[in-house]
Amino acid sequence: MSVSAGGALRGLRGRTWPTRTRPSGEFVLAMLVTSLALCPLAYLAWRAGEGGERSLAALWHPRTGELLLRSVGLAITVAVTSALCGLPLAWITERVALPGRRVFAVLFALPLAVPSYLTAFALVAVLGPRGALADLLDRAVGLERLPEMYGFAGAWGTLTLVTFPYAYLSIRAALRGLDPTLEDAARVLGESRRAAFSLVTLPLLRPAIVAGMLLSALYALGDFGAIAVLRYPTLTYSIYNQYRLSFDRSAAATLALLLVVLSAAAVVAERRWRRRAVFYRSVGTRRPASLQPPTWWAWLVLGGGLSLVGLALGAPVSVAAYWWWRARVLSEDMPAVGQAFLNSLLVGFAAAVLTVCLALPVARVVSQSQTSFARLLDVPLWVAYSLPGIVLALSIVSLTARFLPFLYQTIPLLLLGYALRFLPEATGTLKAVFAQQNPRLEEAARTLGLRRWSIWWRVRLPLAFPGLVAALTLVFLTTVKELPITLLLSPIGFSTLVTVVWNATAEAYWTHAALPTLLLVAIGVIPMVLLGLWQERVQSGQGG
Amino acid sequence: MRRRDLLRLGGLGLAAGSSLLLLGCRQESATPTPVAPAAVPTSSAGTVSDPTPVSTPTASERMPTVTPTAREAARSVTIYSGRSQSLIGPLLDRIGQELGLDVRVRYGDTAELATAILEEGDRSPADLFFGQDAGALGALAKENRLVTLPAELLERVPAIYRSRDGVWVGVSGRVRTVVYNTERVQLNEIPASIVDFAGNERWRGRLGWAPTNGSFQAFVTGLRRLRGEDVARRWLEGVKALDTRIFPNNASIVQAVIQGEIEAGFVNHYYLMRERAQAGRSLPAENFFYTNGDPGGLVNVAGVGVLASSRAQDAALQIVDYLLSESAQRYFSEQTFEYPLLEGIPAHPDLPPLETLNPPDLDLSDLDDLRGTLALLQEVGLL
């Protein structure tokens, strides 16, 4: 199946089904979701405009240009390294018969559940110039100082550790939905395994890789925690300072608009790069890919992956475990975390379900529509995603306190805030999966008399199942660690694990932060294990 | 097969949603005064026009009030606290119990909560703002969001620790100190004025500061006020030129000093005390207090202000009154290691008494030129 032939077929389909051009229910829903994401952006424009000259002064400040370059550099490098980490890890957990591969599959996604500032704190405590490792080396070989970890290298490394699961999860979902017969065909035609991978698999995985990279890049743009701890000031750092130091909301909004432009450019670049191509199998039915026997290469990747997780997860967990032990020794009063644990779990699940529901129509419209307008519908979502959490939180505060006071600081608004923040995690993953669906199947369903909504229920969603699971997991993991929106928009007195951790670390009560930090990691395991195992069963059931 | 899985997935979502609702109810019922769940806006006629989203309980739901003369609607008080729950949660819980108030607290970053109040406008659910530093209180005061407090409350603390216009009052004091590593620094090596750190090669690569920290910024504002713009700029540039390390907050500076990563840092006095309390062993670090009127010994306050948009100002004032009572002041002294501002309440025994601190002659109300400080910090490339 060639890309050009697919494109031609698709064009033909566009002509033979004129009804597709009329706005469908999905399209209307997608428009609604998009306009929701436009609200905070409109607020920012208004707020920046209100500042007048002060806003302009913030924009033209010489420091702004420097910070802008730093932001761009960090975003690009983090995106590249997280894809380089995610791709091989997705491959070995999905295609290589490694012992215990289900456990590893869960493990590799978990670093996402740890807030970046905690990872950064823990890395400094372990790898810092005077951290545990330096202490050990000092005693063992008399090495006085470790290489400097602050600055660009530290921020880059930490953000890669926190964001590589984005690429990993989205590539893994795409690998699962990939038709292995295409690779087999390449092998039958005499290509080596490596050539088959680079000629067939890699190009087919491109939407997923790019979606993962985009998530990592935009996360890096909007991150404050890691860059603050590792002392690498970016544009986001400056935005936080405008709020924290001078209470200058207009200047902050102006700088945030600069981020908006940056991320919009990144998304459009992604669209260009992706070009028009088809990623679905054209004929026959699907069978699961056969597992390769593990080679030395796979073991190497596994080792690398485990050391990444060891740093991203091991460092915070061991630091937290140390403080927990200290707290036991001192028999300190610890804040109760049972309720917070439950709250995190439930809010996380509810937000994940809501976000995925909102993402479905958008992902569908964007991946299947013929008009360029429709294909750009998700751009505002990505842009909102790149905003620093506090900017999005304060714009929601302003808009709802003004226009929807009855919703302000309620659970529904909190969930909506999470959804606005994390929608692209779901649309990105789902889009990649929808792109793998052969439209022939839908056409067949329509020929067989299924209605529009039954097609969703009986064809599209079941086919998108791996993507649904990946999207739910992603949104759950990131929601659980979200801080600024939780602090400002949750009902009063509503605590989650991350607010308990924040309350403790903000004032250096490390012992109080220990248990909730451990639980934060544990809570990430729950959906991963449940959904992971369930997914395995479904797949093996089909394969058999 | 797959459809069944979808059904299950949907069921999971439904289950999560419904248990969330249940959770909301259960949580609310755990608070001393039963109120309608915040997630469900009250529909009683009286509150339809009520712009405050915090739903007020209907008469039948209310517990008997302690003081029957107090306004019924005022029994629930919402505090926006920039001070963390670990720090003052137990105190605020106690206040609720002792005053018979339903105290609801939103914890967050001081500046972010103050900005949220500004964004909320007249519809802010907050009745009382409890800030880490005078700057955030000043920002609210500047936009006329705070009411004037009764003189009786204001006069309980020395004049330098409250707003000149009487719209906020300090409740606990925090002193700027130089924390140093006792294994690497001799006491007499510390300059007699903080200004003399600038360009002092003894300290090259050995100092730490936190330019994003509110207390540090208040200190810079104080330095500008006390010694003028040029001295402040030269100090920032001079210390920066020493390859002084930038930290995200005071706590990490203190940790770095304890670990010997740096030898000294500019912090608030109480972080070291907390590290000591948690470490349970003697740490190789000490605080150096400037008691010679030097800008380095600036005393800032954590303070409170009552919101002009509040509908429970009486109850909010009751809380301010309690925070300035002996029992609350003792809490600050013993639990948060801050300085009590009420006369006659001693500071923690490990600290020099408040009277001996001799802070620089500066009115905290004058620390409100935050934009100037931001511009200066940006100019020297620290932000």
Does some domain include residue B21?
no
So what's the pLDDT on residue A494? 92
Does some domain include residue B36?
no
Of A12-21, A279-288, A523-532, B153-162, the range with the highest mean pLDDT is: B153-162
User: With an 8 Å Cβ cutoff, is B368 touching chain A?
Assistant: no
Does some domain include residue A286?
no
So what's the pLDDT on residue A15? 42
The Cβ of residue A425 has, within 10 Å, a number of other Cβ atoms equal to: 33
CA-based nearest residue to B161, from B327, B343, B1, B18: B343
Same-domain check for residues B221 and B280: yes
- Specify the number of domains making up chain A: 1
User: With an 8 Å Cβ cutoff, is B182 touching chain A?
Assistant: no
Does some domain include residue B188?
yes
Nearest to B374 among A241, A346, A406 (CB): A241
Does some domain include residue A13?
no
Does some domain include residue A188?
yes
What's this model's pTM, rounded to 2 decimal places? 0.83
CATH number at residue A212: 1.10.3720.10
Q: How do beta strands B245-246 and B128-131 pair? A: unpaired
| Contacts of A103 by beta carbon, 8 Å cutoff, 6+ apart | none
Same-domain check for residues B211 and B142: no
> Distance of CA A121 to CAs A71, A124, A147, A314, B13, Å?
21, 5, 17, 12, 34
So what's the pLDDT on residue A536? 64
Instruction: Assess whether pLDDT exceeds 60 at residue B266.
Output: yes
Same-domain check for residues B252 and B273: yes
Confidence of residue A7 (pLDDT cuts 50, 70, 90): very low
Cβ B20–A229 below 8 Å, yes or no?
Answer: no
- Specify the number of domains making up chain B: 2
For B107, the closest chain A residue by CA position comes to: A487
**Lowest-pLDDT choice from A118-122, A364-368, B42-46, B252-256:** B42-46
Same-domain check for residues B98 and B226: no
Instruction: Assess whether pLDDT exceeds 90 at residue B48.
Output: no
So what's the pLDDT on residue B63? 39
Does some domain include residue B10?
no
CATH number at residue B216: 3.40.190.10
Q: Higher-confidence residue: B337 or A103?
A: B337
Long-range pairs for A257-260: beta carbons < 8 A, 24 or more residues apart:
A257/A44, A257/A45, A257/A48, A258/A59, A258/A64, A258/A68, A259/A71, A259/A221, A259/A222, A259/A235, A259/A386, A259/A387, A259/A388, A260/A41, A260/A44, A260/A383, A260/A386, A260/A387
User: H helices within A52-151, ranges in order?
Assistant: 53-60, 62-95, 101-107, 116-127, 132-141
Q: Distance between CA atoms of A533 and A189, rounded to whole angstroms?
A: 35
Does some domain include residue A75?
yes
Same-domain check for residues B221 and B290: yes
For A394, the closest chain B residue by CA position comes to: B116
Instruction: Assess whether pLDDT exceeds 80 at residue A284.
Output: no
**Mean pLDDT computed over A240-254:** 86
Does some domain include residue B221?
yes
So what's the pLDDT on residue B366? 81
**Mean pLDDT computed over B112-141:** 92
**What torsion do the CA atoms of B214, B216, B219, B223 make, to the nearest 10 degrees?**
-130
Q: How do beta strands B102-107 and B76-81 pair? A: parallel
Cβ A246–B112 below 8 Å, yes or no?
Answer: no
Same-domain check for residues B183 and B208: yes
Does some domain include residue B60?
no
Same-domain check for residues B169 and B305: yes
Does some domain include residue A18?
no
So what's the pLDDT on residue B55? 39
Nearest to B87 among A465, A502, A507 (CB): A507
Domain assignment of residue A451, given as a range: 24-280+294-543
Does some domain include residue A484?
yes
> Distance of CA A499 to CAs A448, A490, B90, Å?
52, 11, 16
Nearest to B38 among A248, A457, A492 (CB): A492
So what's the pLDDT on residue A539? 60
**Mean pLDDT computed over B62-80:** 58
So what's the pLDDT on residue B302? 94
- What angle separates helix A411-434 from helix A152-177, to the nearest 10 degrees? 60
Instruction: Assess whether pLDDT exceeds 50 at residue A272.
Output: yes
Same-domain check for residues B148 and B251: no
Contacts of A342 in chain B (CB under 8 A): 23
Does some domain include residue A356?
yes
Does some domain include residue A2?
no
**Mean pLDDT computed over A79-107:** 90
Nearest to A330 among B41, B78, B280 (CB): B280
Q: Side chain identity at A298, as an amino acid letter?
A: A
Same-domain check for residues B250 and B114: no
CA-based nearest residue to A220, from A166, A268, A150: A166
Please tell me the distance in Å from A392's CA to the nearest CA on chain B.
12
Same-domain check for residues B82 and B135: yes
Instruction: Assess whether pLDDT exceeds 90 at residue A3.
Output: no
DSSP sequence for A262-293: HHHHHHHHHHHHH-S---S--SS---PPPPBP
Does some domain include residue B281?
yes
Domain assignment of residue B274, given as a range: 174-299+358-379
Same-domain check for residues B373 and B272: yes
Does some domain include residue B12?
no
Do residues A427 and A359 touch, judged by C-beta distance below 8 A?
yes
CA-based nearest residue to A424, from A481, A359, A349: A359
Same-domain check for residues B194 and B280: yes
Q: With 0-12 CB in 10 A as exposed, 13-18 as middle and 19+ as buried, what is B286?
A: middle
**Mean pLDDT computed over B210-228:** 90
